[in-house]
A and B are shown apart, each in its own frame.
Chain A
Amino acid sequence: MPYYRCVVPKDSVPYEQRAEVAKAFTDIHCGNTGAPRSFVHVVFDEADDRWETPYFLDGGNRAGRSEEVKAELLSDLMGAFREITGVASEDFSGRITEGPAKWTMEGGMVLPEPGEETEEWYSHGQAAAGG
């Protein structure tokens, strides 16, 4: 976690843009939450899911952050996606759902709740990013 799934029409977002969006999402998530970069997952899915718009951001995060942080995060992510891909506002929507951190194990460690991150967890995240 976090896991950001971008549902996009087939062949609509070339690799260069996907890579740029992935980097931007990582920067934004880490900038807003302080999470290690290696924990940010971004996936593009040319699925036939039926959403309200042709492009959809389906994010999943650890529960426990303030409404203000969550709203800013979603707004920043969606803004970056639109800027990089050129997708119009009316064609793109999104949401971030949340689940308890303790339900997920990553890097062999149960995820800490937001605000309860330890030095060990940060260190592991940095090592994973560099390795």
Chain B
Amino acid sequence: MSRVSFDCTMQEGQIGEELRAKLAVALQEITQDVLGESPDDVPVRFSDIPRGFGFRGGEPSTTSLVRGSIVGGVTQDVREDFMRRICDRWMEISGCTVDELVVSARDA
């Protein structure tokens, strides 16, 4: 069983297949750098919220959610470093703004 995994939920039509592949690699690389896990053991799943089904602040949403499930016992400093790196790389690759991204790193 993987010790780290990601579920990424995006609004339909916002992030294409090519970018998803880059994002998956980025998430695996960050996991290796910060948590020491082999990229091959880090599954990354993507799913879309159909148009008209996702809202933020009561309006149609453009936000992506990256939900990480990680091995327990990391310090908050490590967790924050992990989430911040994910934010930075996701924005860089996808072109989204900081307000269009939610990242979590929950204990598995």
Interface residues of A (CB under 8 A from B): 1, 3, 15, 18-19, 22-23, 25-27, 37-46, 99, 102-108, 110, 128-129, 131
**Complex CA distance for A31 and B105, rounded to whole angstroms:** 28
Query: Which of chain B's residues have a CB closer than 8 A to the CB of A108?
Result: 84, 87, 98
Q: Number of contacts between A and B (CB, 8 Å)?
A: 81
Instruction: List chain A residues, Cβ under 8 A from B56.
Output: 38, 40-42
Please name the residue on chain B nearest to A44 by beta carbon. Answer: B53
Quote the shortest CB–CB distance from A129 to chain B (angstroms): 5
Interface residues of B (CB under 8 A from A): 49, 52-59, 61, 63, 65, 76, 79-80, 83-84, 87, 98-99, 101-107
In the complex, the answer to whether A43 meets B54 with C-beta atoms within 8 Å is yes
A62 to chain B, nearest CB (A): 11
Q: Which 6 A-B pairs have the closest CB atoms?
A: A22-B55, A23-B58, A26-B58, A108-B98, A128-B99, A37-B57
Cα A129 to Cα B56 with chains together (Å): 9
Check B55 against A102 for contact (C-beta < 8 Å): no
Contacts A105-B102, A128-B99 given; does A41 touch B55 at CB 8 Å: yes
Can you list 12 A-B contacts (CB < 8 A)?
A1-B102, A23-B58, A27-B58, A38-B99, A41-B56, A42-B55, A42-B56, A105-B104, A106-B101, A107-B98, A107-B99, A108-B84
